[in-house]
Structure 1
Amino acid sequence: MPMTNVSMRTGQSAQFRTAVLKGIHESLHEALGIHPEAFFMTITEHEEANFLANMTFPFERSPDLLLIQITLTAGRDAEDKKRFYEHLVEKLQASPGVDPADVFINIIEVASENWSPGRGLAGRNSVIPATGAPATTAAS
């Protein structure tokens, strides 16, 4: 269950922001096999004075730059990540029309035991049975 945080300059519409989050979620599912119901995502908007990024290195970017940071459970190889990066850029270019140069992605990998989905349960795959009692933790 990844946690996604997107930082951007203020000024984009709610429709644009929703399309960004939807595109990221769909790419995580389609390119990395993340469960379709595993989404925990935020967007933080910043005034110009609070958003400093190099706009020319290693290529030019527009003021619409998106800084996308995704925390995932460790275990994916370089090819999986490369496939995800390419998929996400294509998805965001198609909707809401983000220039590929404006998609800056950072993945942070953590061990499975570093997740708690709530209720003090340990492990990202903790499941709550119908009775409401915590299930045993299954790491994957």
Structure 2
Amino acid sequence: MPFNKLHVPQALSADTCRAINEELHESLVETCGVNPDDHFCLVARYQPGDMLLHPRFLGERDPEATIVIEIALLEGRTDEQKERLFKDVRERLNSIGFDANNSIMFLLENDPADWSFSPAGSVKSVLGL
């Protein structure tokens, strides 16, 4: 059950943000076996000048146009799945007209005891895992 957080420039359109998240979700389903119904995303906008990063660290990018894709998900994916995810998301970004060079992605892995969607408790206790 991933929760995606997109850190995007203030000027990036809501339609582009939705398209990025849709492609990200589809990639998670295809490369990491994520349940298609586990579709959660928060868009966090930043003002010009608020993205402080080295413009050439491990690749050229435009700091004023760079997005950060933060994915929190249950642990258990292989390194191969993660590599496929990163490659697939970048291909999908390019396919919708967003320069994938202006993207940074990272995963935060956790387990079912770290998630809660209701007053009943953690996902682990609710599902009896």
Aligned-partner SS, 2:116: coil
Greater CA deviation, 46-55 or 102-111?
46-55
Residue 31 of structure 1 aligns with which residue? 31
Query: Distance in 2 between the 1:53 and 1:8 partners?
Result: 14
User: What residue is the counterpart of 1:50 in the other structure?
Assistant: 50
1:137 maps to what in 2? 127
- Tell me the residue number matched to 1:5: 5
- What whole-Å deviation, never above 9, does each CA across 1:9-31 have from its counterpart, x for those lacking one? 11111211111111111111111
Q: Deviations over 1:36-66 (max 9, x none)?
A: 1101101111102322122111221023211
Structure 2: tracts of 5 or more residues without a match:
none
Measured in 1, the distance between the counterparts of 2:116 and 2:73 equals 13
Count of aligned pairs between the two proteins: 128
TM-score computed with the length of structure 1 as normaliser? 0.83
Larger strand percent = 2
* 8 Å Cα contact 1:4/1:42 also seen in 2: yes
Amino acid at match of 1:40: F
Uncovered stretches (5+) of structure 1, i.e. residues with no partner: 127-135
Query: Where does 1:35-114 land on structure 2 (aligned, <5 Å)?
Result: 35-62=35-62, 63-95=64-96, 97-114=97-114
Letter in 1 for 2:115: W
Percent identity for Structure 1 against Structure 2: 26
**1:129 alignment counterpart:** none
